[in-house]
Amino acid sequence: MNLCYDRMASPLGEILIVARDAGLAGLHFIDQKHFPKDASAWTLRTDHPLLQKARAQLEEYFAGRRRDFDLALAPQGTPFQQQVWKLLREIPYGTTTTYGALAAKLGQPTASRAVGAANGRNPIGIIVPCHRVIGSAGALTGYAGGLERKQTLLALEGGQAGLL
């Protein structure tokens, strides 16, 4: 199956939700950094069950009624990126962690820049919560959707309530 997508209005701007047979493949703000170059080949599908489920869960999240997502995920990336994205899904709602802490969890304490690069290439933002990763001094750093969106997402979740 080729990738299919649906559009969604959100408090942070228009989002494209993307799926493949195996699961959700992307969630992208239309003006974000690293927007997929192959998006013109995607097929618009407003009736796709996974895209409808993702939309409903995102609407609940933005309304403050959902903390965790229950969706089949199928992001494509390198083995290292996959490891980082798996760790991102373990960061609890309302908490933050640092690039260095993630690198240490991977057993590679000097790989914080590589973790940051993988975090920046996360194709399923919000659902795979890369916005919960901050700089070692607590600064908001890097977010493909823009730092204002990152700040808004953290505020929605209760700010930087706890640093892992």
- In degrees rounded to 5, what are phi and psi of residue 15? -120, 140
Residue 108 belongs to domain with CATH number: 1.10.10.10
pLDDT in tens, 108-133: 999 999 999 999 999 999 999 999 99
pLDDT at 33: 73
CA dist 153 and 156 (Å) reads 5
Domain presence at residue 71: no
Q: Verify that 26 and 91 share a domain, yes or no.
A: no
Cα 156 from chain centre: 15
Segment 140-163 shows an average pLDDT of 77
Q: Verify that 26 and 83 share a domain, yes or no.
A: no
Q: Verify that 138 and 113 share a domain, yes or no.
A: yes
Report the Cα–Cα distance between both ends of the chain, in Å, rounded: 39
Count of CB atoms situated within 10 Å of the CB of 57: 18
CA dist 38 and 60 (Å) reads 29
Confidence of residue 163 (pLDDT cuts 50, 70, 90): very low
Under 8 Å between Cβ of 122 and 114: no
3-class secondary structure, 69: coil
Domain presence at residue 67: no
Note if 130 is an active site residue.
yes
Q: Verify that 148 and 95 share a domain, yes or no.
A: yes
Q: How many domains does the chain have?
A: 2
Domain presence at residue 74: no
Residue 50 belongs to domain with CATH number: 3.30.160.70
The range of the structural domain enclosing residue 18 comes to: 4-62
Looking at 62, 93, 111, the residue that finishes a domain is: 62
- Element counts in the chain: helices (H) and strands (E): 5, 7
Domain presence at residue 69: no
Catalytic residue among 130, 133, 134, 153: 130
CA dist 84 and 32 (Å) reads 20
Domain presence at residue 72: no
